[in-house]
Structure 1
Amino acid sequence: MGESTGPAVMALGTLPVLTAAGALVWAAAGPRTTVRRRLGRLARPASVCAVLSLITSFALPKAGPGPGWKLVETAVLLLLLAVVTRWSPRRDLTWALPPGVLAVALWPLPLVADESFLESIGAVAFWLVPAAASVAAGAYPRRQARRRRSAVAEARRTQRRQLSRDLHDFVAHDISGIVVQAQAARFVAATDPGQALLALERIERAGLSALASMDRTVEMLHGPEASTTEPLPDLSRLPTLIADFTSAGATRARLELPPPVARALSREAGRAAYRIVVEALTNIRRHAPGASHATVVFTATAATVEIRVTNDRGTRPGPARRRVARGGLGLPSLTEHTRALGGTLSAGPHGDGGWRLTAVLPATPPKETP
């Protein structure tokens, strides 16, 4: 009877390590395109191997293959723990890791059963260290990969926000001008063909400007090394912007931008100021087409530059226009951008049915002359 059960007991004792090694070989020996997916499926085999190891450790403490084989088994389990921690889904770790850690930490307990309680605790604590190290070895690259994915996702979100701002601030402004000019040309075409021709010329300029903005946006998608288009507009383009806005509709716009105020803003703040004015004028064109006048005033203090864009309600109704869906992302996006520069932005009713947008941007300290 002993001769017949000896080989069976030995085979049972080697079952955990053979199962664990077989699972690792199965995962690593597959095609390169499927290795990662197979590694992510080792949680269940790992838990089965750990349970088998616990059973053989306590059921066959003396009749098993011996401590040497258990060390090999423990080494394979440690490798399996690291792989499972690195590649398995998070939901599988809660039931795959505990039995593996227990199998590594408790396997010497039957061998020291005759020793004192403190020695047994010491043996368990000793083997908990490699188990924790194995889990940490798998958790660190997992954490780094998650951080890289988060960084890539955040970079993509930032790029999408930048593209959205460019499309909204510049392209939408030019398209709005095209719509206004087309409506005006339709009303005067029959009575004053000369004015209709001028409106068509302004439509052409606005269309070219929209194409330039689209080209700049597309260049951003190819990276900074591919950027060959003109830079983003800044305060130097404001006089042209105001003139085009006035010629495109019934609202007359006026700009107050003293040269010292323009020099008080950094390049980035100047570009933000241009975006703010574009957004304010676009909103006037969309929501207050009957406004008779609008003012854009820059005022400088010792530490800030204030921008005020104000329009009245007007007494003349604007051309009839079709209602279009709006995303409403312009002002919130500009508010976020302004805060990132250290400023503030607000908008609200002003006067008798008018509207005012106010932005405050930090001023660049003047350079000291020697």
Structure 2
Amino acid sequence: MRWRARAGLVAIVVVTLTGIAAAPAFGAPATVPVALTTAAVIRVLSGWPADRRRIALITGGAGLVSLAATAGVVWLDAAGPPAASGWLFGESVGLLILVLLAVRAAPVRPAIVSAGLAGVAVPLLLVRVSAGPPTPAALAGFAVWALFAVLAAVIGLYLRSLDDLRARSVRAARQEQRLRLARDLHDFVAHDVSEMLAQAQAGQILAEHDPEQALAMFGRIEHAALHALGSMDRTVRMLHDPDLGPGLDAVPERGADSPGPDVAAGPAAARTPLPALADLADLTERFSSSGTAKVRLDLDALLHEAERVPRDVSATAYRIVVESLTNVRRHARTASRVEVSVRRLRDDAGHALEVMVTDDARTGTTPDEHQAGGGSAGRRTAGGGARGGLGLAGLTERAEALGGTLTAGPRTPHGWHVTATLPLTLTPSDLSTAPAGA
């Protein structure tokens, strides 16, 4: 940027001195304004795009200088010689460039004023070489140059719209990335941290009566911590690696064999797809071992092979189960049994994946039970989450984006359910091997 500014300054000095030196031969009204207009163009381009706020001031100044020179010629009746036409052509080109740049980059109101002054000055340049009343040829020339000024403004508006569209796209991409990171932190890290909290609370209680079992809790806390570190490492990789799509492509490996933080942070860390249906067994087993509620997983045999389920559907189904189990741990501590069912449905509309998570927590009837998280107290329906874009509300949006649905609410006579239906595309071989009633 510095070398551009210095080169621009040298060019401005050279152009200005050239215009002054040529004034005796072609007339100052022809050479000085074109020198100043050219200097203005050089100044704008040498500072682009950092000096966008000054474009309107520079363009308006060049337009006023040109109009003043034209007014002086008319007032003094001192039209220049035909040889001065080349200088005027250079000035008109410079003014048109300034009009285009001002309309493209300057704030709206200053752009209108400055581009208007410079645009009006362009056709009026013909006055400096025209003597006597206007002729049809002169009027045609005015119209042509006025059309050029309008065309420069239109091009500037088009480029401005492209710049605005590009800026909106960048803002939208950044917002989507922030939401994606928030979902990852909420769906995975929050689940692991809540598991660590539950283990630590249970360990404090067991420490008084069964120290050995309390000591075993530390291994489970370490396991949950490794999962949380893996999730955060994947989130950090998403920030640094532009090739990671919307959170569904290459990510560090999760699971019992996940590397520690020192290994996972390295450039050669193992990478696998996001947790999916195949990871539900490990998820439910860890949940059962970390609390009083036991989880029963019913996974359709056809769905055990990950390649038969679209990756985005599989990952979304896993997230729904994670969020549901996290809510059980937070809001349904009286639950003793949780049922997780993932099966394939087939009807006239096609194939779909149904994900259902239910618990048997009883709704609290006293303030103490409510405080303890009994049943549906304190929960949110799928569409009524308190945190926009996160939790069940965010998962509802993800399910709808896939063409599916997600509902949540209390069960009869007690408990809670989360049910999602996601469209599922299967291959012909899958259809032939699947049971008819699945």
TM-score (structure 1 length as normaliser): 0.82
Match of 2:361, SS state, is coil
| Offset of residue 86 of structure 1 | 3.9
Say whether residues 1:218 and 2:236 are aligned partners: yes
- Matched with 1:3 is none
CA distance in 1, matches of 2:285, 2:65: 82
Can you list the C-alpha shifts for 1:197-217, whole angstroms capped at 9, x where unaligned?
Answer: 232222121112112222222
| Cα distance in structure 1, aligned partners of 2:48 and 2:313 | 50
Residue by residue over 1:101-137, the C-alpha shift from the partner in whole angstroms, topping out at 9 and shown as x without a partner, is 2222344478484435xx6764443113322333345
Residue 135 of structure 1 aligns with which residue? 153
SS at match of 1:41: helix
- Cα deviation code 1:117-166 (max 9, x no counterpart): xx676444311332233334544554444444333333332222222222
Pair 121,256 (structure 1): closer, same or farther in 2 beyond 3 Å: farther
In the alignment, what sits opposite 2:16? none
In structure 2, the residue corresponding to 1:346 is in which secondary structure?
A: strand
Structure 2: distance between partners of 1:82 and 1:169: 49
Q: Deviations over 1:317-338 (max 9, x none)?
A: 59969x9xx8562223222222
CA distance in 1 between partners of 2:58 and 2:311 (Å)? 60
1:275 corresponds in structure 2 to 319
Q: Which letter maps to 1:176?
A: S
Within the candidate set 309, 317, 325, 2:357 is matched to 309
Mind listing any 5+ residue stretches in structure 2 that lack a counterpart? 1-22, 245-266, 379-385, 433-438
Change (3 A) 1:205 1:42: closer
Equivalent pairs counted in the alignment come to 355
CA distance in 2, matches of 1:39, 1:258: 61
Superposed, which structure 2 residues align to 1:203-214 within 5 Å? 203-214=221-232
**2:247 matched to 1:234?**
no
Which residue number corresponds to residue 65 of structure 1?
Answer: 80
Displacement, 1:222? 2.3
Q: Secondary structure at the match of 1:253?
A: strand
Does the alignment pair 1:24 with 2:72?
no
Question: What CA deviation, in whole Å up to 9, does each residue of 1:75-103 have, x standing for no partner?
Answer: 22122223333443344212111122222
Letter aligned with residue 46 of structure 1: T
Q: Shift of residue 187 of structure 1?
A: 0.9
Q: Where do residues 1-370 of structure 1 align in structure 2 (5 Å cutoff)? A: 10-12=27-29, 14-27=31-44, 34=47, 36-38=49-51, 40-57=53-70, 60-61=73-74, 62-66=77-81, 68=85, 69-108=87-126, 111=130, 113-115=133-135, 122-223=140-241, 224=243, 228-231=269-272, 232-262=274-304, 265-302=309-346, 303-314=351-362, 327=387, 329-368=390-429
- 1:271-329 per-residue CA deviation (whole Å, 9 max, x = no partner) reads 110111001110111111122222112232222111111223337959969x9xx8562
Q: Are the structure 2 counterparts of residues 319 and 177 from structure 1 closer, same or farther at C-alpha, using a change threshold of 3 Å?
A: farther
Residues 326-367 of structure 1: per-residue CA shift (max 9 Å, x gap): 856222322222222222222222224532211111112332
Show the counterpart of 2:18: none
- Structure 1 SS opposite 2:286: helix
3-state SS in 1 of match to 2:407 = strand
The letter of the residue matching 2:359 is N
Distance 2:133 2:304 in 1: 84
Determine if contact 1:219/1:229 at 8 Å carries over to the other structure: no
**Contact 2:187–2:391 (Cα < 8 Å) also in 1:** yes
Q: State the alpha-carbon separation in 1 of the partners of residues 230 and 52 from structure 2.
A: 49
> SS of 1:189's equivalent?
helix
Shift of 1:242: 1.1
1-side partners of 2:43 and 2:352: how far apart?
A: 67
Cα distance in 2, alignment partners of residues 339 and 125 from structure 1? 56
- More displaced stretch, 190-199 vs 177-186: 190-199
Higher relative contact order (CA 8 A, sep 6+): 1
